[in-house]
Structure 1
C-alpha cells in the first residue's frame, strides 16, 4: 500500500549506537563517543533510550488485553533513535477482537503527529500526552510557546533542549510541516500520522475561531460574516494579508504547501501523492472512532490508550449551520483541501475494508462503551459545560480572542482512587498538560496575562 512506502527522507544514520544518558535524553552517536546508560556494562545494550525513567523489566509483560479502565503495567520500551528492533516483544493488544493471539506486534513509541487546525487534534494530543507520560517517552516541545513558531516552517532549532545527538520519541504540537527537518529530529522508524476534516466545516470553524486575528475579515459587515464572505471571497481575500492562510486551504498550508496555488495545477496531485507516501495513517474527524481504532492497530496499542473525552469543543450556539448552498461555496473556495480530503477519504475506507467491516464495528462499539463508562466515572454531570461554569482554574481551556466559546469539564468530587489520576489526565486541557510535561510556555503564558489584563 502507498501509505507503507514513505519517502526515506534525509540520510539518517541507521547504525546509530544503542543507549544514552536517559536523564539527559541523549542517545545515538555523538562525535568520538559511544554513549551508554550510566552504570550499565558496555557489553549489555540498554532496552530504553531517549527515556528519562528507569528501564522496565521484562517481568512486567503480560499476555492479552487488560480492561480498558484499569491501570496496566508499563510496556517494555524498545531502543529509540536506532534502526535496531527491540529484542523484547510486547504482548499483542489483540485489537479489541478478543483474540489472545499473543506476541504478534510491538507497541510503537516513535510518533510524528502532524497537528492540523480545527480537526479535534487537541483530543488526539491528550491521547499522545497520556501514553508518552505513562511510558516515560521524550517529547519534542516548542521552546517558549505551544506551537513551533507557526505559521513559519518547522525547524529543529525551535525544539526545546534540542542539540545534535539528542533524540525524541514524540512530536505533536502545531507546526507548518517540513518533512526533512522532522526526519532529522526523530528516529528512522517513526510513525507519521495526521488528521483531516471536511474542508467546508473546517473553514466555518476556522473563520469564526480565528476571525478576530484576521484583519481581512474586519471590514465585512452584516450579521453573518461567513455568508457575506462566501458570496464574493475574492473581494475580501488577499493571500498576502496577515493570517490570511486561515481563510483558504488551511489543511494544505499546515502540511507545508502553497495554499494559494491554482487548484487545477498538476502540482496539487503530486503533493497529495507525496503526503500519502510520507504518512502511515491519515485520520478523518468525521469518522473519529474508526480513526482511533486504525491508529490503535497501527501502533499496536491497548484500547485504554486511545480512550478520550472531546476537548476544545465550541458551544453549539456559536457554530454556524451551513446551508447546502454555503457548503458548496465553502467547498469550492477550499478546492485544494477538498481534493486532499476526497483522496484520503478513499484511502481511509480502503484501510477500513482491509481491517474488516465487522471487526471495525465491534471495536468501535467497544471503544464507545469504554468512553461512556469513563464519562460516568469522571465527569460531573456527564457533559461539557461553559467556561464560566468550570470550577477549577486548572481545567479552563484556552479561549479564542475576546470570547468564551470553548467548553470544558468539571471533575466529579468523588472518584475512586483507581480512576482519579486517569480521569484528571483525560480532562486536562492542552496548555496545562504541556506545562505538566515540562514544556516552557513563557510566551504563551505572557500572552494569556496580557489578554486577561485587557479583558480580551
Structure 2
C-alpha cells in the first residue's frame, strides 16, 4: 500500500510540475528535491494513522467540568413542543457535546459554531494531537486525544474520526449530547470523488475527462475494497460511523447499524436543511440564536460543481446503497422532529436566523460573498485545499469593522485549521504538510 502511494506521488509530482506551465519546466534537481520532500512528508502522515495504543490506569469519567451558568435568572425554555402553552420551564444550555464530524457534509461550518460556543463558555475540547483528525481512518481511541489521561474531564469532541462508541464514552460525561450531520449520498459521493480523487489510487486508471461518470458506468470493475483510501468512494457515511461500508444492502447488519446509530445520536442534522437543523439543535440543547450564526465554510467554486444528471444520481445512490438507507431513515425522523416543533414556528425561526446571518455578512465580509483562493488576501483566511487543486473558496474580512463586531467577524471567517491552531491544538504534522504543499505551489 505504501509502495503504491510512493509511486503515485512521484509520478503525480513529476507530471504536475513539468506540465503545470508550458515552457516553464522546473529544473530536474528542484523537481527531485521537491518530490522527495513531499513524498517523505506524505509517508510520515500516512504512517501516523497506524494505531499505536498504550494502556493507562482506568478512572471513572467525571461529571461535566463545564462552568454552570448563573441560575438566577435562568433563561426560559419556550422551545419544548410538548409543554403546555402557558407552562414555564427552566432551561440550562447543554455543554457536553459529541459532534460526529462526517466528511463533505458542511461539518466544517458547524465546527466553527462549536468552537465559538466552546470559547464563549470556557469549555474543554478533546482535540487530536499533531493532526486535525483523530488519526482517521483508524478507529477512534481515547489515547489519540491530546493530553489524555484517564479521569480527565472534557466537554466537547468534534474532529474527524472513525466513530468508536465505546472509546468515545471513555472521554466524555455519560449525559453527553450526541449530534451528527448527513448529506444526500449522491451529492456526497460527487463531492468526495472530486475532493479525494487524487489520493485514491483506484481512480488513476479510469480513462477520460469525466472520471466519475466512467466509474459509475461500471463501479465493480474499478473498485477494490482493499485499495488504498477506497473507503472515500463507497458508503463514506457508513464508514465514518465505524461500520462496514462494503456490506450487501440486504445484510441484516445494515439495519442493526442504523438502529445503533439512532439509539446513540439524539439529533441527526441534514445538510440540505442546515438552518432547520440548527433550530432543532437550539431546541435540543437550549442554546440561543446568537450561538447559531454562521458563514458557509469550505464551499467549492461554481466551476467545480455540477448538477448530477438523473441517470448519474440514480447510479450514485445504487452504488452507495447503505448510505442511502441511512439517509432515508434519518430524513424521516428529521421531519418528525420538525412537525413536533411546529412548521410555522420553524419557518419563523429560520427567517430570523437568515436575517441575522445576512446582517453579519454585511458587517463582516468584503463584497458580501466568498471568493476564490487566489483572491484571499490574508494567509490566515486561506482554507485547506485538496492536492493539486484550489477550488475551495474563502473570504476577505472587511477593513475597518467596528470594535463591537471585529472579533466575532474574524472568528466566523477563520478556517478550521487556523482556528484549531488558535485554540492551542498541536498540528505540527498537518502544518508540515501544508508548508510543503505551499512550496510546491499547488
Normalising by structure 1, we get a TM-score of: 0.81
> 1:103: how far off?
5.1
Tell me which of 206, 228, 233 is aligned to 2:219: 233
> 1:448: how far off?
0.8
**Matches of 2:236 and 2:200, distance apart in 1:** 14
1:91 aligned onto 2:84: no
CA deviations over 1:156-188 (Å, ceiling 9, x no partner): 000001001111000000000000000111001
**Matches of 1:100 and 1:243, distance apart in 2:** 55
Match of 1:299 in 2: 285
Tell me which of 274, 292, 311 is aligned to 1:325: 311
The structure with the greater share of residues assigned to helix is: 2
**Matches of 1:184 and 1:213, distance apart in 2:** 33
Instruction: Give the length in aligned residue pairs.
Output: 382
Tell me which of 396, 399, 404 is aligned to 2:385: 399
CA deviations over 1:361-391 (Å, ceiling 9, x no partner): 1111111110111111110000000001011
Match of 2:336 in 1: 350
CA deviations over 1:391-447 (Å, ceiling 9, x no partner): 111011111111111000011102111111111111110000001111110110011
Asked if 2 retains the 8 angstrom alpha-carbon contact of 1:293 and 1:360, the reply is yes
**Matches of 1:454 and 1:413, distance apart in 2:** 31
Match of 2:65 in 1: 50
> 1:102: how far off?
6.2
The alignment partner of 2:180 has SS state of: strand
Match of 1:31 in 2: none
Match of 2:101 in 1: 115
Match of 2:179 in 1: 193
**Matches of 1:204 and 1:218, distance apart in 2:** 17
Match of 2:143 in 1: 157
> 1:451: how far off?
1.2
Alignment of 1:175-324 (within 5 A): 175-324=161-310
Deviating above 6 A after TM superposition, structure 1's stretches of 4 or more consecutive aligned residues are: 99-102
Asked if 2 retains the 8 angstrom alpha-carbon contact of 1:138 and 1:168, the reply is yes
**Matches of 1:95 and 1:332, distance apart in 2:** 39
**Matches of 2:285 and 2:109, distance apart in 1:** 17
Stretch of structure 1 that moved more, 216-225 or 205-214: 216-225
Q: RMSD value over aligned CA atoms?
A: 2.0
Asked if 1 retains the 8 angstrom alpha-carbon contact of 2:123 and 2:156, the reply is yes
Match of 1:370 in 2: 356
Give unmatched runs, 5+ long, in structure 1. 1-11, 17-26, 29-48, 57-74, 77-86
The alignment partner of 2:99 has SS state of: strand
Tell me which of 416, 419, 423 is aligned to 1:430: 416
Asked if 1 retains the 8 angstrom alpha-carbon contact of 2:80 and 2:341, the reply is no
**Matches of 1:175 and 1:380, distance apart in 2:** 34
> 1:95: how far off?
4.8
